[in-house]
Amino acid sequence: MKRTATRLADGRELFYYDARDGTARDAPDRRPLPPAARGTELRADPLLGDTVVIASHRQDRTYHPPPGACPLCPTRDGRPTEIPAADYEVAVLENRFPSLAGPGRCEVVCFTAEHDGSFAALDDERAALVLAAWTDRTAELSALPGVEQVFCFENRGAEIGVTLTHPHGQIYAYPFVTPRTERVLASAAAHRERTGRSLFEDVVAAEEADGRRIVLAGEHWTAFVPYAARWPYEVHLHPRRRVPDLTALDGPARAELPGLQREILRRFDRLFGPGAPPTPYVSGWHQAPVRHPLRTEFALHLEVFTVRRTAGKLKFLAGSESGMNVFINDVPPEAAAERLREAARQ
């Protein structure tokens, strides 16, 4: 893998990732851009203790640009974009409208130069290159002063709230440990105290022993619908050897991963039958906090879920979910797993 670092006209960093060393990426950004937005405010909720990010500058971010005006396509035919090169394999850039700026950092990961592609449609080499970019950025962002957790994720589909349709994901480098992760770590610590064992290892072992919710399994990975799944269709993908983050994966697990991740996403697209529009989803890598005293109790895993519960209906976070954080799932996890297994045969 070759990484080429450069800067955009407003000073933001841009990294090109190429599978081979001989590729040159030296096109300058000639746009007359104003200074990049900086500064967000972190506020602590006095009742819950959660951190809320105030980022008012995001009201002006790019929103459903017209055809031919995608900012993540390469710069071609005299139309400048966020990517100055005329072509690219994988590109990572600082977000022009970041949710976290000053404290923390937000980056955009462009999976391909093809506007109408998808992560599931990438070939093995390109998907492995995206994994290499996630790993590289996780290592570099984790080393930044003040960064406490790195989250690599993809939002896909208008139903999720996506405003740019180009195949891309994001990386958030949080200056705090997220509330969800704090709760998981507390559960892991209590389980260790009670049993002397790892919570994550016991969860995976229980799912493998039960078998009803297993979606697919490789030599180095296991994917299953969680016993208490919140979303209509939700899959967790765990390496068999527990590691804290992407940087700690060994060679065999790293080699097997891209194919399994793309297969999960392909099955999501087949859930609702031929002719159904692409399934909206969130796909995110949960990684251990950088400096937390319980870091070694956490286990890297991928979570993929969709808000679509049937072909024409969405799962809305209404009163119970939004108001009280109590999820009500219309699809039994065992039925969801069976449907995802069936999707492999379509």
Annotation-wise, does 166 bind a ligand? yes
Which is the catalytic residue, given 57, 64, 168, 191? 168
* Three-class HEC string of the chain: CEEEEEECCCCCEEEEEECCCCCCCCCCCCCCCCCCCCCCEEEECCCCCCEEEECHHHHHCCCCCCCCCCCCCECECCECCCECCCCCCEEEEECCCCCCCECEEEEEEECCCCCCCCCCCCCHHHHHHHHHHHHHHHHHHHCCCCCCEEEEEEEECHHHCCCCCCCEEEEEEECCCCHHHHHHHHHHHHHHHHHCCCHHHHHHHHHHHHCCCEEEECCCEEEECCCCCCCCEEEEEEECCCCCCHHHCCHHHHHHHHHHHHHHHHHHHHCCCCCCCCCCEEEEEECCCCCCCCHHHCCCEEEEEECEEECCEECCCCHHHHHHCCCCCCCCHHHHHHHHHHHHHC
Annotation-wise, does 70 bind a ligand? yes
Annotation-wise, does 115 bind a ligand? yes
Annotation says 168 is catalytic: yes
Q: How far apart (Å, rounded) are the C-alpha atoms in residues 83 and 81?
A: 5
Annotation-wise, does 106 bind a ligand? no
**Where in the sequence numbering do the catalytic residues fall?**
168
| Binding site per annotation, positions for Zn(2+) | 70, 73, 115, 166
Q: Per the annotation, where are the binding residues?
A: 70, 73, 115, 166
